């Protein structure tokens, strides 16, 4: 095995999850935009999502979007991070749509698109409580009036973000407010919004419970498809695979040692003062895996008898005292991942990617 860790990726499970999410949303008249940023738009995974029925893609990094175009993904692609004013030429060239909250940037997008004979689509983000991107509700009408007068861009809808900064959960009330704002725009300005984008994976719970407000017709789904989980609502999504991704790392030392270091304790290599509980002598495995490879807090041992004690840049120390099997040097320990762990492992050049596919 070259490198210290392997990320196993079951493409069939990603295809299955994509299919299930698309079908559940279609029943409510909702289109699913497949978010590719959680795995740095690795093309094999994108293909698996498309095979599961994803017809539109979205990413927060222009580098990923450019790579998708080079890989001949011709699906409509949305830029999910507010465009940089310095980067509008690339945005209009490679992305069909972008989310926006700054009229200065939207005007620059309009100018850049006009210069190359294109019309760039814009979703105006509205802050309904999470306090990340978005204009305030009282500014929606005035902002819409400015956008619809511009050449080179087309306002296609309103959107909002939930759960990513403030942890605010989507609800009938806050998503209903987004629908009401779109209705107000149509009623007062005579301008019809084609898209009302009601957040991401956390909104799937409203879909499952059949209480998502009428009018919400787009969701941007990443975590739910990839991991079958909904972190904001702290749940596993019923009927989806939670094990499409697995991380394996090799054991490079096995020793029984005290559970509290001996000597005066200062700061570790990352500037933190570690805390230890005296549990006596414990059997420990050191893995060829560290913080430079993956976000350690984003992984967890599949064997629940194991416990991660900590990590440095190059090593992870795991308590194996109560392990279900005899762990030796050269063995591998497998981990599940939560979203931050997947994000870092996918982006790490030190983690080998191994794709599994049963269907031919």
pTM for this entry: 0.93
Instruction: Over range 9-34, report the average pLDDT.
Output: 98
Query: pLDDT band at residue 269, thresholds of 50, 70 and 90?
Result: low
Per-domain residue ranges for the chain? 11-236, 245-356
* Strands in 185-244 per DSSP E: 195-197, 218-221, 229-230, 235-236
Instruction: Over range 219-243, report the average pLDDT.
Output: 97
pLDDT tens per residue, range 38-54: 999 999 999 999 999 99
- For domain 245-356, give its CATH number from 2.20.28, 1.10.3470, 2.40.30, 2.60.120: 2.40.30
Query: pLDDT band at residue 34, thresholds of 50, 70 and 90?
Result: very high
- Domain 11-236, architecture per CATH: Alpha-Beta Barrel (3.20)
How far apart CA 227 and CA 244 sit, in angstroms, is 6
Which segments of 258-348 does DSSP mark as H helices, in order? 339-347
Annotated catalytic residue, options 13, 23, 37, 353: 37
Whether 160 contacts 178, CB under 8 Å: yes
Instruction: Over range 162-183, report the average pLDDT.
Output: 88
Is position 236 annotated as part of the catalytic site?
no
> Length of the chain, please?
360
């Amino acid at each position: 095995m070259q490198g210290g860790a392997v990320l196993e990726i079951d493409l069939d499970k990603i295809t299955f999850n994509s299919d299930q999410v698309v079908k559940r949303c279609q029943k409510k008249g909702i289109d699913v935009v497949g978010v590719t940023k959680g795995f740095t738009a690795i093309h094999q995974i994108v293909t698996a999502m498309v095979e599961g029925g994803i017809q539109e893609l979205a990413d927060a990094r222009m580098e990923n979007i450019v790579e998708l175009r080079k890989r001949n993904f011709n699906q409509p692609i949305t830029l999910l991070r507010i465009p940089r004013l310095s980067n509008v030429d690339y945005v209009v060239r490679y992305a069909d749509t972008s989310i926006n909250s700054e009229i200065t940037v939207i005007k620059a997008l309009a100018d850049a698109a006009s210069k190359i004979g294109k019309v760039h689509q814009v979703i105006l983000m509205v802050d309904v409580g999470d306090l990340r991107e978005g204009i305030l509700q009282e500014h929606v009408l005035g902002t819409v009036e400015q956008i619809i007068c511009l050449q080179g861009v087309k306002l296609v809808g309103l959107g909002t973000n939930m759960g990513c900064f403030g942890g605010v959960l989507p609800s009938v009330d806050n998503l209903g407010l987004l629908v009401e704002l779109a209705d107000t725009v149509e009623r007062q300005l005579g301008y019809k919004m084609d898209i009302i984008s009601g957040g991401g994976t956390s909104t799937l719970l409203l879909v499952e419970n059949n209480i998502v407000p009428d009018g919400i017709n787009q969701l941007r789904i990443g975590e739910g498809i990839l991991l079958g989980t909904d972190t904001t609502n702290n749940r596993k999504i019923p009927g989806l695979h939670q094990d499409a991704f697995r991380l394996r790392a090799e054991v490079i030392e096995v020793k029984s040692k005290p559970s509290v270091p001996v000597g005066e304790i200062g700061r570790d290599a990352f500037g933190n003062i570690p805390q230890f509980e005296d549990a006596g002598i414990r059997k420990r495995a050191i893995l060829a895996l560290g913080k430079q490879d993956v976000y350690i807090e984003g992984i967890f041992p599949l064997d629940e008898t194991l416990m991660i004690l900590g990590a440095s840049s190059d090593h992870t120390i795991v308590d194996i005292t109560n392990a279900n099997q005899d762990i030796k040097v050269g063995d591998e320990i497998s981990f599940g991942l939560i979203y931050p762990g997947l994000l870092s492992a996918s982006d790490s050049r030190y983690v080998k990617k191994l794709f599994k596919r049963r269907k031919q």
